[in-house]
């Protein structure tokens, strides 16, 4: 299992475009990828609306957890995207 934390730097928080990009990237991997925000946990593969329903806002902290056969590859790509988009 791998995990990283990130503070949202995008003034708009998580909106449709970055949610869609993260979803598309996550679906390329077999491992479980979960985003954890406050007391909520959602699969990064669950859909744009599920991700947006988390209500991720500017300057809030999130964690993303990877568990499975290709977690290392997923970790590298998703971490880069999160840093770039959020």
At 48-84, the pLDDT tens digits run 889 989 999 999 999 999 999 999 999 999 999 999 9
Give CA 57 to chain center in angstroms.
13
Q: Classify domain 2-85 at the CATH topology level.
A: 3.30.1340
Could you state, in order of their start, the residue ranges of all structural domains in the chain?
2-85
Distance, CA of 56 to CA of 32 (rounded, Å): 20
Question: Is the whole-model pTM more than 0.85?
Answer: yes
Q: Which of 15, 42, 46, 52 is catalytic?
A: 15
CA angle 15, 52, 1 (to 5 degrees): 110
Q: Could you confirm whether 6 is annotated as catalytic?
A: no
């Amino acid at each position: 299992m791998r995990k990283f934390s990130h503070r949202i730097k995008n003034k708009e928080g998580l909106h449709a475009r970055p949610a869609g990009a993260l979803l598309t990237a996550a679906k390329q991997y077999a491992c479980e990828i979960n985003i954890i925000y406050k007391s909520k946990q959602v699969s990064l593969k669950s859909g744009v609306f599920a991700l947006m329903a988390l209500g991720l806002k500017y300057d809030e902290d999130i964690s993303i957890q990877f568990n499975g056969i290709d977690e290392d590859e997923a970790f590298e790509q998703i971490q880069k995207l999160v840093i770039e988009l959020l």
